Amino acid sequence: MQNINNTQYFKVQAEPVVQVKEVLSIVYQALTEKGYNPVNQIVGYIMSGDPTYITSHRNARSLIMKVERDELVEEVLKEYIKTNNWEK
pTM for the full model? 0.79
CA atoms within 13 A on the CB side of 35: 0
Reported as a single tens digit per residue, the pLDDT across 37-81 is 999 999 999 999 999 999 999 999 999 999 999 999 999 999 999
Give me the helices (H) in 1-88, please.
20-33, 38-48, 60-64, 69-83
